[in-house]
A = this chain, B = another copy of it.
Amino acid sequence: MSRLSESVVRAMEILKGSDLAADYTVARLLEETYRRRSLDLSDLSPAEQAALVEGRAINVIPSASGLAEKITAAQAEGRSLVVKYGIDPTSPDVHLGHSVPIIIASRFQRMGHHVVFIIGDVTAKIGDPSGRSSERPPLTDADIAHNLSGYQQQVTPFIDFTRADLRFNGEWLNKVSLPELVGILAHVPVSMTLQRDDFRNRLAAGDGLSVAEFVYSVVMALDSVAITADVELGGVDQLLNLQMCRKVMEIREQTPEIIITTPLIEGTDGTGAKMSKSKGNYVGLSSSPDEIFGRVMSIPDHLIEPYLKQLTEWTDEEITTVTGRVADGTAHPMAVKRILAGEVTAALHGLKAAEAARAEFTARFSKRTFGEAQNLPAVSFQEHAETPLVTLLTQVLGFAASNSAARRVAAQNGLRLIAEGVDGEQHTTQLDEGSTQQALSALVGEAELTGEATFYLKAGRKIARIDV
């Protein structure tokens, strides 16, 4: 029995029989599954390794059995596979969506293979136009350096960089000559590049598709040639780019790499849009534990299962057990979501931070008292007694971006004044749109104030304590 199987046995025991809302149970469970993120998987057979990868992939091309054979052949040669993951540092922030293929990279690393991160300092200047409807301005060297600076740190929770390579593709691409590139382009049919829907759409729309974007995939394929990649990982939106890598390796008479694509996870808003920074429906890898926990808690229930699949080391068996318990009513979806939020927070900040975030979240958003919450922002009554509520929300607390946004929260019944007694009993006053113009003193004066109660101001999901 492999180390992974042993862990699954222990976790299944918890998952099947315990109260998944109980703090103690969850702590034990997370401890078990969190440990898997650094579990040595080298005791898995080639077929088990391939299965562990395929189970979370959309494509394994040419096949998972081909991957198993490649692992077997490499073992016979006494070497590990070279696993490529390329990133173009086109944005300073990495989010959970980016971590999906990186988690697969982490599995390869723990299975004993060699992960090479390729930083596309040259390709970033071309800009892969996937999913964009128009051209992106080319990045400067300063942009790239800035974007890259945080990248490694943000990805470190998933990858042991002491055992992985981090290489810049300028290292070889700057040395490629025009005749060499053109010699490769001579074997690449235009039809292969025009398979991309976004290219065809932009051409049809008369949009400024540049010839550089057209050759992008060939250029990034040279990375695979340079490191003689055995395997490449990427989001499924990279499928055509990855197939070009296989094509170019063939042109250069190398064995084409096996390509593995992973799903694009949906954003936290649950609208079906993929997670992206521009849509604001993302969880940043550099966010604080509380932010991460809260963001994951905000997802709709139907995303619990795909998030468990793509963001944790849970097996299908474990996920099926949990969803079964939700279905038969022995576990509440909210409880499972808390476990998921703990998983994600632990992955990025460790178990203790995850537990603290869980407690904080519970205190803040559950039926517990606000008094238990540690990190609430506070506003001084003495200082702001005469400040209009709208100013408090926008300028002092930053709970609303503008006066109109503050009024909108009120109009949607999201603005409340809550008095909490020492016994935890709460008295809530819903504030209407008009009250945003009133001063704090007028509002608190209206409430039934006793010396023993603490006042809280709640705007949407944001809460602040009023220190009298």
A residues sitting closer than 8 Å to B (CB atoms) are 122, 125-126, 138, 170, 173-183, 185-191, 193-194, 199, 203, 206, 208-215, 218-219, 222
Do A182 and B214 touch across chains, with their CB atoms under 8 A apart?
Answer: no
Within 8 Å CB of A181, what residues of B?
A: 178, 181
| Shortest CB distance A322–B (Å) | 48
Do A188 and B173 touch across chains, with their CB atoms under 8 A apart?
Answer: no
* Chain A interface SS verdict (over half): helix
| Shortest CB distance A404–B (Å) | 41
| Shortest CB distance A271–B (Å) | 32
* Pick from B175, B189, B210: contact of A186, CB under 8 Å: B210
Q: How far is the CA of A125 from the CA of B182 in the complex (A)?
A: 9
Q: How far is the CA of A206 from the CA of B195 in the complex (A)?
A: 12
Do B218 and A182 touch across chains, with their CB atoms under 8 A apart?
Answer: no
Do B185 and A209 touch across chains, with their CB atoms under 8 A apart?
Answer: no
Within 8 Å CB of A178, what residues of B?
A: 122, 173-174, 176-178, 180-181, 219, 222
Within 8 Å CB of A125, what residues of B?
A: 179, 182-183, 186
**Best-surrounded residue of A180, A193, A209, A212 (most CB of chain B within 10 A):** A212
Do B189 and A208 touch across chains, with their CB atoms under 8 A apart?
Answer: yes
| Shortest CB distance A197–B (Å) | 15
Q: How far is the CA of A184 from the CA of B204 in the complex (A)?
A: 23
Do B210 and A190 touch across chains, with their CB atoms under 8 A apart?
Answer: yes
**Best-surrounded residue of A122, A178, A194, A218 (most CB of chain B within 10 A):** A178
| Shortest CB distance A159–B (Å) | 28
Do B177 and A215 touch across chains, with their CB atoms under 8 A apart?
Answer: no
Q: How far is the CA of A215 from the CA of B215 in the complex (A)?
A: 9
19 additional A-B pairs beyond A173-B178, A178-B180, A191-B206, beta carbons within 8 Å, are A122-B178, A122-B182, A174-B177, A178-B178, A181-B181, A182-B215, A186-B211, A187-B212, A189-B208, A189-B209, A190-B210, A190-B211, A190-B214, A191-B203, A191-B209, A194-B203, A211-B214, A214-B214, A215-B215
